[in-house]
Chains A and B, each alone.
Chain A
């Protein structure tokens, strides 16, 4: 017994947490390894010879640290190929989904905010905080609903809202950065030949890759969903996710432009429908709406006997995105229809939901967007350059998104210029800053919220 032997200390609270988050089937696993061989996505991607199986074992044994620091939990798209083929009904896809939720919680500070996302009891609280901030601003500065044409900056004074937004956003960014740092330090990098850990790479693959290759591979996979599309069981979900995902950079562009217009003093609410900002905003909103509807439809179609219909935790993100887009469009159309009072209050609701979605980024399921990116990079990169590579890949990823955004803005600007050159009166810029029906109302007030209100910027 010279070799130091690991003493098993099951964390029963961890097991209970996995069970609560939809992993109640975890204990059914009897380690046959069907999940390992049926996974078309993660196994193909990493050639990880004990993927899924080892996570099931660690969960059943209550080995929290091992399970949550394994980057392979992010290699799973929950496409359910494993759950569909599991002879025991252990639903590995659902169990790994629960592990991801717990990993997000593990890195979230303050942690109680992450716990709020587990239980519907806290939903009022989640929504109340942004609502109170916004209503507080209303009470402090202007309780009057202005009369006349709807001009949102007459309703809420932009500079105060902007300050509040930046403070809260700063806190969220701090929490995100802390989470990423902890994640990077703790994540167990793939060790070639290991079975008892992530990334036991197959002999025919290079165990480690050069950093540029890793970046290209990771980002192109995210951009095309190439691995996600290898899934055979839940194909609609792949497309739903892809479409939703592409809505977000467009909304980000709209928000950035809106912020820019604010800085240089352009009145956004009066911009043409063919303004790049408005095209990006409306198109992004539309994509997100279509995508999220597909995802919601797919969840309703799920077969509870075979794999889960999702937990509250999963549903919360879907409904938040749905509410974002829905309220955004509702605000816009209400104003177009002339419902003045309602337009203002819908606007408040929209802002509240947008706030709830993005301020809580490090605490809810949406955090997967950066954890997954980092984990996919780590799994591809191997152990060569250590944790730093993960950071580099993430930063490169953000840079790539911004570069793509810049290119898109240029394209949209060109389109708008061409459109303006055409003799179409309806689309021409108006003389005054007062909007006509065709001028979408939401944009002008979106500036204060900066990135918090991508759709509102339209």
Chain B
């Protein structure tokens, strides 16, 4: 085991030395794990950093344990080339949050050191990344978002293929004469910034444009997508390392809006139809005359449970713009805007103010009751207007502001076991939690921009496309290095599957949040390594425990649990906390940084995601005599905060299994609990832990204690 020889550095700075007996810790590490121990008063200082590096050179020891501050700080000091470094958190989670120089605090520190050293000894260096062949970025959709994304990627130095379904570039904007203003003073409609984008794309040496092309199939993985497309009746294939999905939107089907008068009269039209008229020489005359009264019906089919339950966020400003254009074309016309609310986020409020200034544009809040023929024209009735009354307006022309429907489905035709479409977060938009996954979809290496991701204005699409494009360019680089994308950016480890034991239960393939696993005909999982985000959900899911990373595995975690010394004294508690590294673990660190005190019986193991919790962890802990297990994961549900989408939710589902296991072991199910925490729960956590300890005390000691 010479290669597994470990070297332990114990820092006594930041109060660690006062709270703990460093010499005793070192003695145990040397005795139980054969570690060479170095104690230093200020390890993160220049002297400490130099010392570690010099000794690394001299001794050639490849496994270093740093028992000091949390692994979340000072990463640059303690990261060494060709070296496995394990950070043992003696500061935030031991010295700062427990009574100094007590037996229990010392015991906690000892267990922390043991767990860290076990993990270090059982970890190994990553295997080289699977080679990938592609560096090109494919942008799907030639509208304003796609054009912008293509330019951004190309300007970042990558080759781009821009694939557009229509025979021309431009998307919807090609039909728009004007858009709402996106530059100060945000007062007058602007000509869309399309022509220059199209010219720039066509002239760019690194952008290849495919017009009239549709994707038949996209197979493979980031770094090696194989995309089959059809152009002019012929199928062809192209390779890509990353994909930007900018397929845009289509207006909600107005034929479903009979209750708003669509189809009742040819003079009930949609906003998109009016847009086309405005582009082609102006709005229609009605019965050969300029319309005297035009009514815009906002939220036509939007914010309506029977149609689109959401707000498309741009219809208001679109109608405001069209109202101004109509007033320019027909100076005598009265224009009514019948709305639920006027929603003009950000600077578009200035534009709303501008339109309000027009004395002949009238804003009516209310619910549309009917749009019906009335003599030669139309009568729009609305209930619950500003003063609670019902009012009606005569109209020559009625414009329905229909909402945005994303064009996400059936565009990429992914050849994934989990289905052909990019999963949606809400309402079929190809989106993920925007904080955890900016611009990313739930398919690794595929980035969404523009209205396919979220309803937004032209300015929003441009910004979105820049973000998505740069994320795609960055992804190409990372994947080429074999490194993970967000949130474990740069992680070089892949999961490996010991398939001889696989029972083809398909849990891993079904639960993988990113569709990383395909299946062969029998149902055996097949990893597409570059689709993997390294969350370990498959590891938690596998009943055969055959999924592992070289530095994160069932064996490593269970060995860490077994390294916890459970005293035979029944009055001394031990509690295992399995904490998600993204939110719960930092929250514990923050509690420590505030010197909040909580039970020293707590032993914390940081998990990549609560979704990687295998039932065996809990079974092992309980059978070792640990009194209780607390799983701290992210919020789940509609407003989830899990960095891996549904890890904590999966963990909570597995709690049923856990209860069954506990029942088999004849242990009270209350001993294991899952709590959802966010990073700002640092003030709640100490009490939560103490309350759990008190409940466990009420239950009495774990019956397995002392076995």
Residues of A within 8 A of B336 (CB): 8
Q: Is B156 an interface residue (CB 8 A)?
A: no
B390 and A5 contacting across the interface, CB-CB below 8 Å: yes
Residue of A5, A50, A60, A196 touching B392 (CB-CB under 8 A): A5
Residues of A within 8 A of B287 (CB): none
Docked Cα-Cα span, A16 to B360, in Å, equals: 10
B386 and A27 contacting across the interface, CB-CB below 8 Å: no
A6 and B357 contacting across the interface, CB-CB below 8 Å: no
Docked Cα-Cα span, A353 to B359, in Å, equals: 37
Residue of A16, A28, A53, A62 touching B356 (CB-CB under 8 A): A28
Q: Is B389 an interface residue (CB 8 A)?
A: yes
Q: Is A54 an interface residue (CB 8 A)?
A: yes
Cβ contacts A to B, 28 pairs, < 8 Å? A1-B370, A1-B381, A3-B390, A6-B389, A6-B391, A7-B379, A7-B393, A7-B394, A8-B336, A8-B362, A10-B334, A10-B360, A10-B362, A12-B334, A12-B359, A27-B356, A27-B359, A28-B356, A30-B356, A30-B363, A54-B387, A61-B362, A88-B353, A195-B387, A195-B388, A196-B387, A196-B388, A196-B389
B392 and A27 contacting across the interface, CB-CB below 8 Å: no
Q: Is B18 an interface residue (CB 8 A)?
A: no
Q: Is B365 an interface residue (CB 8 A)?
A: yes
Min Cβ gap B350→A in Å is 12
Docked Cα-Cα span, A30 to B355, in Å, equals: 12
A5 and B381 contacting across the interface, CB-CB below 8 Å: yes
Min Cβ gap A378→B in Å is 20
The interface of chain A, by Cβ under 8 A from chain B, is 1, 3, 5-8, 10, 12, 15-16, 19, 27-28, 30-31, 50, 53-54, 57, 60-62, 88, 195-196
Most buried by A among B362, B387, B389: B387
A7 and B334 contacting across the interface, CB-CB below 8 Å: no
Min Cβ gap B371→A in Å is 12
Residue of B362, B381, B394 touching A60 (CB-CB under 8 A): B362
Residue of A16, A31, A62 touching B362 (CB-CB under 8 A): A62
Min Cβ gap A35→B in Å is 13
Residue of A nearest to B355 (CB): A27
Residues of B within 8 A of A5 (CB): 381, 390-392
Residue of A nearest to B390 (CB): A5
Docked Cα-Cα span, A410 to B369, in Å, equals: 68
Residue of B nearest to A6 (CB): B391
Question: Using a Cβ–Cβ cut-off of 8 Å, how many residues does chain B contribute to the interface with A?
Answer: 26
Most buried by A among B356, B358, B392: B356
B360 and A6 contacting across the interface, CB-CB below 8 Å: no
Q: Is B342 an interface residue (CB 8 A)?
A: yes
Residues of A within 8 A of B342 (CB): 30
Docked Cα-Cα span, A88 to B386, in Å, equals: 17
Residues of B within 8 A of A50 (CB): 387
Docked Cα-Cα span, A386 to B611, in Å, equals: 75
A6 and B392 contacting across the interface, CB-CB below 8 Å: yes
Docked Cα-Cα span, A27 to B362, in Å, equals: 9
Residue of A10, A12, A28, A31 touching B386 (CB-CB under 8 A): A31
Most buried by A among B334, B357, B359, B364: B359
Docked Cα-Cα span, A297 to B584, in Å, equals: 65
A1 and B391 contacting across the interface, CB-CB below 8 Å: no
Residue of A nearest to B372 (CB): A1
**Nearest 4 pairs between A and B by C-beta?**
A5-B392, A196-B387, A15-B359, A7-B392
Docked Cα-Cα span, A53 to B386, in Å, equals: 9
Docked Cα-Cα span, A62 to B334, in Å, equals: 11
Q: Given contact pairs A7-B379, A7-B393, A8-B362, enumerate 8 new A-B contacts (beta carbons under 8 Å).
A: A1-B381, A5-B391, A12-B359, A15-B359, A15-B360, A57-B386, A61-B362, A195-B387
Residue of A3, A28, A30 touching B357 (CB-CB under 8 A): A28
Residues of A within 8 A of B362 (CB): 8, 10, 60-62
The interface of chain B, by Cβ under 8 A from chain A, is 334, 336, 342, 353, 356-360, 362-365, 369-370, 379, 381, 386-394
Docked Cα-Cα span, A12 to B293, in Å, equals: 12
Q: Given contacts A5-B381, A196-B387, is CB(A31)–CB(B365) below 8 Å? A: yes
Residue of B334, B356, B388, B390 touching A6 (CB-CB under 8 A): B390
Docked Cα-Cα span, A84 to B356, in Å, equals: 20
Q: Given contacts A7-B393, A8-B392, is CB(A19)–CB(B359) below 8 Å? A: yes
Docked Cα-Cα span, A390 to B360, in Å, equals: 36
Residues of A within 8 A of B353 (CB): 28, 88
Min Cβ gap A21→B in Å is 13
Docked Cα-Cα span, A319 to B342, in Å, equals: 44
Residues of A within 8 A of B381 (CB): 1, 5
Residue of B nearest to A26 (CB): B359
Most buried by B among A8, A12, A30, A61: A8
Residue of A nearest to B389 (CB): A196
Q: Given contacts A1-B381, A28-B353, A31-B365, is CB(A12)–CB(B360) below 8 Å? A: yes
Most buried by A among B369, B381, B386: B386
Min Cβ gap B89→A in Å is 50
Residues of B within 8 A of A57 (CB): 386-387
Residues of B within 8 A of A8 (CB): 336, 362, 364, 391-393
Residues of A within 8 A of B365 (CB): 31
Residues of B within 8 A of A195 (CB): 387-388
B357 and A27 contacting across the interface, CB-CB below 8 Å: yes
Residue of A nearest to B357 (CB): A27
Docked Cα-Cα span, A15 to B361, in Å, equals: 11
Q: Given contacts A1-B381, A28-B353, is CB(A60)–CB(B363) below 8 Å? A: yes
Residues of B within 8 A of A12 (CB): 334, 359-360
Residue of B nearest to A9 (CB): B394
Residue of B nearest to A197 (CB): B387
Docked Cα-Cα span, A27 to B359, in Å, equals: 7
Most buried by B among A3, A5, A50: A5
Residues of B within 8 A of A54 (CB): 386-387
Most buried by B among A7, A19, A50: A7
Residues of B within 8 A of A30 (CB): 342, 356, 363
B391 and A7 contacting across the interface, CB-CB below 8 Å: yes
Docked Cα-Cα span, A10 to B392, in Å, equals: 12
Residues of B within 8 A of A10 (CB): 334, 360, 362
Docked Cα-Cα span, A53 to B387, in Å, equals: 9
Residues of A within 8 A of B389 (CB): 6, 196
Residues of A within 8 A of B390 (CB): 3, 5-6
Residues of B within 8 A of A53 (CB): 386
Residues of B within 8 A of A60 (CB): 362-363
Min Cβ gap A16→B in Å is 7
Docked Cα-Cα span, A61 to B361, in Å, equals: 9
B359 and A16 contacting across the interface, CB-CB below 8 Å: yes
Residues of B within 8 A of A31 (CB): 365, 386
Min Cβ gap A194→B in Å is 9
Docked Cα-Cα span, A295 to B388, in Å, equals: 39
Min Cβ gap A391→B in Å is 29
Docked Cα-Cα span, A30 to B393, in Å, equals: 19
Residues of B within 8 A of A62 (CB): 362
Min Cβ gap A287→B in Å is 42
Docked Cα-Cα span, A62 to B360, in Å, equals: 9
Docked Cα-Cα span, A332 to B669, in Å, equals: 104
Q: Given contacts A1-B370, A5-B381, A8-B393, is CB(A27)–CB(B358) below 8 Å? A: yes
Min Cβ gap A372→B in Å is 24
Residues of B within 8 A of A196 (CB): 387-389
Docked Cα-Cα span, A60 to B334, in Å, equals: 12
Min Cβ gap B345→A in Å is 15
Min Cβ gap A438→B in Å is 60
Min Cβ gap A94→B in Å is 15
Most buried by A among B362, B365, B370: B362
Min Cβ gap A190→B in Å is 15
Residues of A within 8 A of B387 (CB): 50, 54, 57, 195-196
Docked Cα-Cα span, A31 to B387, in Å, equals: 10
Min Cβ gap A419→B in Å is 61
Min Cβ gap B376→A in Å is 15
Docked Cα-Cα span, A75 to B390, in Å, equals: 27
Residue of B nearest to A33 (CB): B386
